[in-house]
Chain A
Amino acid sequence: MKTCLIVDDSKVIRMVARKILQELEFETIEAADGKIALEACQSKMPEAVLLDWNMPVMSGIEFLREMRALPGGDAPVVVFCTTENDIEHIQEAIEAGANEYIMKPFDSEIIQVKFAQVGLL
């Protein structure tokens, strides 16, 4: 079973994402900000990360840059999932090493399609 780290400061979004990902047969772990997520990655790299942008303490983009610099940090497939939907943000995310990008609102179908595209399903 693959593990997906869900990083979002909204408990509700984490719950919705968890349900969708569990249906796609992922084991899920959750983090409410980038710093907690980074700590999770330091103890064990997940196969996938579903990542919000705006969060307190450490944002998604900061987390992504730091995670990619960790040993083994190039391995996880990172899918942004954020309300930021302008070209500049998308470009910045890709440059920082994101593999895919979901613009909220999302549903299970979009998650499924995007995860399939990056070879997670």
Chain B
Amino acid sequence: MKPEDFDFISKLINEQSGLVLTRDKAYLLESRLMPVARKRGLNGLEDLIAGMRARVDKELTQEVMEAMTTNESFFFRDIKPFEIFRENILPHLLQSRADKKSFRIWCAAASSGQEPYSLAIILNEEASKLAGWRTEIVGTDISVDILNKAKAGLYSQFEVQRGLPIQLLLKYFTKQGDMWQANSKIASMVQYKEYNLLDSLLPLGKFDVVFCRNVLIYFDQKNKTKVLEGISTLLPDDGVLFMGGAETVLGISDKFKPVSGQRGVYSLTRNG
């Protein structure tokens, strides 16, 4: 791939999604875009890129961008954050929201749904404490394809074995041939929506807890800051943010600070 073609595509992807592609990822770009070109009956990447330079094709841009996202996810990824949610955050919500009996959780990069379904499982396991409560889990992602997988709730044997304890698999999934299907107990608790984190977040409404895990790691500093500031405006003073194991707010946004003793959890600085 010609360097100027690489720069053209990486700039486009960065503008559209925030994802950063450095030159050493040229091989990745080539291997992921070849199928996109083939699907359109084009000879190769040159034709694809020439077409994209010639005119704005929203559909193609979306396809190219989706091809470049990393969608990997597991149930109860890293375990600990989900334990913290269950043992610390949920009890706080139950107490502090007791008058209105409702709260909302947002999975900002829901990918194929493992994260929102893990949270739905936790809420189900604690259902006795949540009787009469209205809880909402909203899962958003920029990729339409991956959201379709999340909505279908259909996972391979390999996927369900990465993180889902066997008892929970039996309780919340049914077997469909070689695949496992999330049952209505958890599927009905999650709403999925296509959403770009670079857009204004305000239309999503307010949330009490935000999971924004393993997505900002692919963004540049400017966009990381922008998204974190945006999230901070959706949270009440005692709201919490979960980030991925290799992510941090330090040096990126002063709206959040790490919660001591709870790795990956951040609270608002305006809350003192």
Q: Which residues from chain A sit less than 8 Å from chain B, CB to CB?
A: 85-87, 90-91, 94, 100-103, 106, 109-110, 113-114, 116-117
Contacts and interface: CB of A to CB of B under 8 A. Distances in A.
B165 to A, nearest CB: 5
Contacts of B158: 110
A91 B161 contact: no
Nearest to B157: A103
Contacts of A113: 74, 161-163
B170 A87 contact: yes
Contacts of B79: 116-117
Contacts of B167: 94
B165 A109 contact: no
B86 interface: no
B173 to A, nearest CB: 9
A102 B170 contact: no
Given A86-B175, A87-B175, A117-B79, A110 B166 contact: no
Contacts of B74: 113
A102 B157 CA distance: 10
24 contacts: A85-B157, A86-B175, A87-B170, A90-B166, A90-B169, A94-B166, A94-B170, A100-B165, A100-B166, A101-B166, A102-B161, A103-B157, A106-B161, A109-B162, A110-B158, A110-B162, A113-B74, A113-B161, A113-B162, A113-B163, A116-B79, A117-B79, A117-B163, A117-B165
A106 B165 CA distance: 15
Interface string B148-181: 0000000001100111011101100011000000
A77 to B, nearest CB: 13
Q: Which 7 A-B pairs have the closest CB atoms?
A: A101-B166, A110-B161, A103-B157, A117-B165, A100-B166, A87-B175, A113-B162
Contacts of A110: 158, 161-162
Contacts of B170: 87, 90-91, 94
Contacts of A86: 175
A86 B74 CA distance: 22
B263 to A, nearest CB: 16
Contacts of A102: 161
A78 to B, nearest CB: 12
B161 A114 contact: yes
Contacts of A100: 165-166
Nearest to A80: B166
A113 to B, nearest CB: 6
Nearest to A91: B170
Nearest to A109: B162
A79 to B, nearest CB: 9
Contacts of B163: 113, 117
Nearest to A116: B79
A110 B167 CA distance: 16
Nearest to B74: A113
A117 B157 CA distance: 17
Nearest to B76: A117
A101 B157 CA distance: 12
A17 B166 CA distance: 20
Contacts of A101: 166
A103 B164 CA distance: 12
Given A94-B167, A116-B79, 9 more contacts: A87-B170, A87-B175, A90-B166, A101-B166, A103-B157, A106-B161, A110-B161, A113-B74, A117-B165
